[in-house]
Amino acid sequence: MAEIKFDDLLKEFAGTTVPRWTALVSKIASNDKFTINKTNTEVTLKYLSKELEGLFKDGKITTIQNNYRGKPLFKASNGSELKLSDLFKSSDFGGGKGSGGGAEETERNESAQCLYAGLVYYVYKKQMNINKTPSKKDFVDAFKYCDVSAKFEDLLDLPYHWHYSSILGANKLFETCKGAYEFHRGSSTVDLIENKFKDINRIEKAFGNLNKWSPADIYMFTTRGKAAVRTEISQATTIQNLNNLMLKYIKSKDIVGVSLKKIEGVRAKLTENNMSDNKSSVTYTGYQIVANNKTDMFDSMDIYLEHSKGKTQFRSFGGTALTGWQGEGKGATANQGKISLGPLNFILKANGVAPLPESQVSARLATSPNSSYFTEFYDTAKRLKVKGLDKSQKGFIARWYRAPNPWKYSKYLGILLVDRIANLPAKQRNNVMTDIFLYSASKSNFAGPYLKLE
């Protein structure tokens, strides 16, 4: 697992304008756990001083880097004082995913799954015994059918648990997907698919990042599938068009995207995702603008949309910065994933609902309001019968000026979202709520098809 660096915190999440330091601030505020000290030790964190807390929440990462270089910044729940470099990247910060660790290990493990599939499909032409130790010649012969980003030499001496996982994974693929395949990880053919998605998504803003559309780590291509990438998929013009093509070719088993997870049991499981219309749905049950323990809407910046499987909280996660407004699914025992403003607006438009203002618009109005903004904000809250709302717009405006800017930025978007959804016909309202729920759970109705191997 790679350590967190100041440069990592200054980067933006893929496909968004949200800086990664917001994830650190949010995790600390939520008492989420961090992995430390190149081990699996997990701790919660507090800032070492009020000054540091203020700097982090303001996003002044460069100031912290200059003034506290090499110094402890946090107090851990185990009593230790930690520097930033003592923390290690999870997927929250754009780091390596899952138990594979950092980017280099992830590249090795995913490429190795391709190599072991080549062994099973072309060298042994049958499922491998779990105790089999391939010769170097076997690996060389198998590698002819792979197009991967890792170096061949790095794949020959895997840690035993990844060797074991790769055999089970290759056996399951061989059992399920019959065909003459090449196995790709990070190849030019894979790049054509992923870059096509990114080009379309820059326009449609349907997803916060590539993994929300498809978390496929490797691809299996037949000759027909590779040709289709260049002749059809590279010409797709919409997310729906791209999805239809990917669905066509995964069903014919010519292009098979596979999401990988280390296999630790005695057998692998392979499941289909986003390959049918029979996805779970939720029913909209209401909204909450004022928390149960609060007096009125000025007491908190968040709102909740409630549904039959929980609720989704919408608020700014950017600390004192006017950025980072998004939704987070809340379940009975844990958070269930996030949805940023771009994908939310895509869902609204796809369901015939007017999109919300862009984040920068709400941020600008929070510091430079105009009369139409105040009228829209107040009249919308009045229409929703918000608890504790001032009887006049003049009184509302006076309280607005005393509120912190993050509240102005966040609550405005939240109020507009509730108003757009609460008064829809029941069927349309449930469809919107279902799409929001599925997206935050990485099961979007607009996502691409793939197989999950675990």
pLDDT tens sequence across 68-117: 888 999 999 888 899 998 887 766 665 444 334 467 888 999 999 999 99
Q: How confident is the model at residue 143 (pLDDT cuts 50, 70, 90)?
A: very high
Q: How confident is the model at residue 333 (pLDDT cuts 50, 70, 90)?
A: very low
pLDDT in tens, 365-424: 999 999 999 999 999 999 999 998 999 999 999 999 999 999 999 999 999 999 999 999
The distance in angstroms from the start CA to the end CA of the chain is: 21
Beta strands in 322-422 (DSSP E): 325-330, 335-340
Residue-by-residue DSSP string for 220-237: EE-HHHHHHHHHTGGG--
223's CB contacts (< 8 A; 6+ apart) are: 180
pLDDT of residue 15: 55
Residue 121 is given by DSSP the state I
Q: What is the pTM of this model?
A: 0.68
Where would I find the H helices in 32-79?
50-57, 61-67
Closest to 450 (Cα-Cα) out of 263, 187, 228, 211 = 211
Q: Rounded to whole angstroms, how far apart are CA atoms 147 and 246?
A: 20
pLDDT in tens, 255-275: 999 999 999 888 999 999 988
What average pLDDT is seen over the chain?
90
Q: Rounded to whole angstroms, how far apart are CA atoms 284 and 427?
A: 9
189 phi-psi bin (left φ>0, alpha ψ -120 to 50, beta other): alpha
Query: 350-378 as b/e, with b when 16 or more CB fall inside 10 Å?
Result: bbebebbbebeebbebbeebeeebbebbb
Q: How confident is the model at residue 30 (pLDDT cuts 50, 70, 90)?
A: confident
Cβ atoms 297, 400 nearer than 8 A: no
Q: How confident is the model at residue 291 (pLDDT cuts 50, 70, 90)?
A: confident
Instruction: Give the domain ranges of the chain.
Output: 6-95, 100-268, 284-440
Reported for 155-160, long-range contacts at CB under 8 A and 24+ positions apart, including other chains, are 155/108, 155/111, 155/112, 155/115, 158/108, 158/109, 158/112
